[in-house]
Amino acid sequence: MDKIELEKERSEILKRYRSLLSVCRNTIKKEDRKLIRHAFDFAANAHRDHRRKSGEPYIYHPIAVAKIAVEDIGLGSTSVVCSLLHDVVEDTDYTLEDITEYFGEEVSRIIDGLTKISDIFDQTTSVQAENFRKMLLTLSDDVRVILIKLADRLHNMRTLESLPPRKQLKVANETLYLFAPLAHRLGFHAIKSELEDLAMKYTEPEVYQTIVQKLAETKEERNRFIQSFTRPIKQSLQNENLDFSMLARTKSVSSIWGKMKKKEIPFEEVYDIFAIRVILKSPEYREKSDCWKVYSLVTDIYQPNPDRLRDWISTPKANGYESLHTTVMSRSGRWVEVQIRSERMDEVAEKGYAAHWKYKEAKPGESGIDKWLRRIREILKSAESDALDFIDDFKLNLFSDEIIVFTPKGELRTLPMGSTALDFAYSIHTQVGDNCLGAKVSHKLVPLSHALKSGDQVEIITSRKQHPKPDWLNYVTTARAKGKIKAALKEQRKKQAEEGKEILFRKLKQLKIDNTPENIQKLVDHFKLPAPIDLYYDVAIGKIGQKELKAYAAEQETGGILSYIRNPFARTREAGPKKETAKDPIRQQLKDKPDTLLIGDNLENLSYTLSPCCNPIPGDDVFGFVTIQEGIKIHRNDCPNAMQLMSKYAYRVVKAKWMTNKSIAFLSGLRLKGIDEVGLLQNITNTISSEYNINIRNIHIDTHDGTFEGEVMLYIYDTQHLNNLIKKLKKVKGIQKVSRIGKMEAV
């Protein structure tokens, strides 16, 4: 690189650094600027020879992460320093000891949490899952680790175009699986929406671009409608001398797409593309009454939908979100969502965790986000050793929707959606859970496995004679309940094993066998058990009795011949070669082939099947997934399971593409909806079989009160073939909607 280019880069680096200082001006003290400059110089020097995939100097990335940490999240000087240094230990020769020496223990501890794990993990575990668990483990010490990690992920998503397509898909799905829900739960709505939009840009590019284009095309019309809709509301609020501001927020692309899929409607039928937000400048003691006053004024002008009132002021969300939402009918016959909140509520909604701490001192007591953080710590304490189980527990308990239930005395309890009566019992107290016999929900007796709903009042029935049972694990969803039940069962097993140990020693004495560690291990091997404690437990419950022990003694007397006949590999288990798993030959074949699996190529001798969960067909963007027993399965990139597979098992994903072969037909399905017309079924089958010469595997139509819904499974050649058929079917009289099963069309 010549001198002119180097000077340009140095100038650009300084420009970006000054931009960072500019956003820090209002939140960081002057004396901290020296430390930030020191961290910048240190990071710039450490990364001086590094470049990003885009070819840019690597230092651009830490500066951008630090800027997001301040501007979007609201963090302070220590976090800026950590953001600038977050990749130094991982990517350079500097160590955590060096960071401690130059910047102190606090910075070093946060950097340690941010540094990715470089060890080699078991091949059944996703490295990203381990990274995520390590990051969360630092939460008990410092939540800034997670907040900086969110900033890091956001900038990586903003610059994802420089990575190869396969890597883009992996990172995008990982973001949807872990980081977007985490941002949502911590209250960073803007970051969550941007992460989801950026991920969708790579997981479903055609749909993303279509919605972006439609939003651009309807922008002017939307603006005119908003001005007309808000004019009478503004006038009414001004007449009441309320101090307010009003703005319109367009839904994110991913949110619009979510609504289209959920309701099975086209873009044009999504009525809440935007929402009107009224933000009041009210003192905290008057916030609630002022918000309800605005609600009254708005609903005096426009008729509200009674089913669409959401009161998160009386009962805030777990992430601290407070707002009053109503949906009203405009004079043009269009539904519009109106959000009403105070300035404080709006800041908490936009800045999430950081704003929560800003207002925490003024309001004593534990807030929703405090409870959430406490629940994280509970899960971390009782976490399973398997990282993927841990991630599943974490998502289930902390990212899921919530229900609100009440104790008999009216005390409110918040639980994850799907929680049972037994989960509720353990949420009260461990002893209440351990001794739970049953429950009464709204005064009716229900079993332990009864799923609770919001608004239920629950009374737990207990007995001192009741103790946890193994099948209880099937009745609970919360990590707290699972952890407590497992701990109780482990303790019970331990006590029974102690009793079994004494019984075994007595029986061995009768059989004249010494109870030495060697003989106990022989018994463990003979009965094919993992450890001595399992042997003692089986003796205690009678699974291993006098008969089995006598048979063992007889084998020993005959020199172990019977033992060898029963288990000829027992003695050579450790010495023998490692058993090859079903996926190993597939991996070997993949190594000898190009890195892209060609589907439909007759020369391809790798075994693969088309996954029934998404029924991919030629023309779909697909990937291969190496299973343990069923060879390679082909999934669509937008398969419902794609996010989880790419996030958890990225090392088992292989690139795949179709080889066009018109002689092969693939099974696919269509969902039809519309008005029941005479001869409708005949018209549908004629269009499919006669005009398009397509074989129908099966067709099912249900009619109800003049409307119909149906599904058709048929054999087609590729996506173009299928899309042409969809367009033709939409022209059949009576049919209003046609969509591919498992995939919504954006138009």
609: left (phi over 0), alpha (psi -120 to 50) or beta: beta
Label residue 642 exposed, middle or buried (CB < 10 Å: 0-12, 13-18, 19+): buried
**CB neighbours of residue 715 within 10 Å:** 14
Q: Which structure tokens are listed for 312?
A: 């998160």
The CA-based angle 228-233-238, given to 5 degrees, is: 125
Contact assessment for residue 78 and residue 144, using Cβ atoms and an 8 Å cutoff: yes
CA 743 to chain centre: 20
Q: Which structure tokens are listed for 1?
A: 């690189």
Angle between helices 368-381 and 387-398 (to 10 degrees): 160
Angle between helices 353-360 and 343-351 (to 10 degrees): 140
Contact assessment for residue 611 and residue 635, using Cβ atoms and an 8 Å cutoff: yes
Contact assessment for residue 154 and residue 68, using Cβ atoms and an 8 Å cutoff: yes
Catalytic residues, by residue number, are 90-91
Q: What is the signed CA dihedral for 371, 177, 358, 276, rounded to 10 degrees?
A: -110
Contact assessment for residue 107 and residue 82, using Cβ atoms and an 8 Å cutoff: yes
Q: Which structure tokens are listed for 582?
A: 């079903």
Alpha-carbon span 58 to 79, nearest angstrom = 19
| Residue located via tokens 């941010």 | 114
Contact assessment for residue 246 and residue 201, using Cβ atoms and an 8 Å cutoff: no
Alpha-carbon span 173 to 203, nearest angstrom = 7
Q: Which structure tokens are listed for 543?
A: 């699974």
Alpha-carbon span 238 to 243, nearest angstrom = 8
Contact assessment for residue 450 and residue 439, using Cβ atoms and an 8 Å cutoff: yes
At residue 576, what is the residue type? G
Contact assessment for residue 735 and residue 670, using Cβ atoms and an 8 Å cutoff: no
Alpha-carbon span 434 to 408, nearest angstrom = 19
Q: Which structure tokens are listed for 411?
A: 């005390």
Alpha-carbon span 29 to 565, nearest angstrom = 79
At residue 323, what is the residue type? S
Alpha-carbon span 181 to 391, nearest angstrom = 12
Alpha-carbon span 130 to 390, nearest angstrom = 9
Bridge partners of residue 88, in order along the sequence: none
CB within 8 Å of 226: residues ≥ 6 apart: 248, 274, 276
